[in-house]
Homo-oligomer: A and B are copies of this chain.
Amino acid sequence: MKIGIDMMGGDFAPKEILAGIQQYFEKGNAEIFMIGQEEVITPLLHHYMLPEGKTTLVHAPQVIDMHEHPTRALKEKPESSISTGFKLLATGAIDAFISAGNTGAMLVGSLYSLKPIEGVLRPTISTIIPKENGRTGLLLDVGLNSDCKPEQLNQFAVMGSVYAQQILGIESPRVGLLNIGEEEGKGNLLAQATYPLLSENKHINFIGNIEGRDILVDKADVIVCDGFTGNIILKLAESLFSITHRKNIEHEYFNLFNFENYGGTPVLGISKPVIIGHGISKGLAFMNMIVLAQKMIDKDVMQMMKAEVEA
């Protein structure tokens, strides 16, 4: 198993990435392809204990900045670590690709360098949602698809269920449709049209509508919504961590809103695992992302999604 990492992505690259790789090797044993500027990475290597023969440094002379325009950057910097990562992934030289760099470039790369899973209308990104009782759920889409069709939400429910089951370990995940009322027939046109599709979908465990007040309690394991709504919820939830931190409100509950702890988010619905990390990711987050990539490859989550979407 070969996992590629962008060594130039994120606010603390490459040092924290190296720290994360080192941490990963305390237990893991995938081969790690470290993609980035040789002259930056090589001098640092002797500070870290990386096992002999398990890492490969792939030189990528260019770097895509956090604030560059994604499409333009990918086009103008074909030798960047992100472009190189996608090339290696597309050709099968690596089995998964991880980056905490330019999110837009990672999304564009995922959508255009890789094939979507056959039958998938639109790939999607999700976030872990912390529950009041300490359990975690999944919310999707969180920004890749700002306008959605009912059929897309129906597929998000399927892909989210596979992910929740295989990766989060939730048996028969409860799927909720985010809405502004409990009964069928409530909500905007999208929610009204999505409800019957979810209701008739035999591949998911649909429990009905979920309101705003239910997001943070343990009512559903997979919550589906359009990417506009989902992104606003995600960023609002993230802001709770910063606000409580600034106000010196110390309680373990708010640590659950430190989304850095969750590592990164995979792009679901494409043929190979791509994991996008927060810009502020540190060692632990990078280790978690490598573990996640390994799990996704091990369980062949992409293949399972394909089977569920097609069936």
Contact = CB atoms under 8 A, between A and B. Distances in A.
A215 B191 contact: no
A233 B236 contact: yes
A188 interface: yes
Interface string A71-104: 0000000000000000000000000000000000
A226 B242 CA distance: 26
Interface size range of chain A in the complex: 35 or more
Contacts of A231: 180, 212
A29 B270 CA distance: 66
Contacts of A12: none
Given A147-B188, A251-B247, A180 B239 contact: no
A116 to B, nearest CB: 21
A239 B213 contact: yes
19 contacts: A132-B247, A146-B187, A178-B232, A180-B228, A187-B228, A188-B226, A212-B232, A212-B233, A212-B235, A212-B237, A212-B239, A213-B238, A214-B239, A216-B236, A216-B243, A217-B239, A232-B233, A247-B253, A249-B249
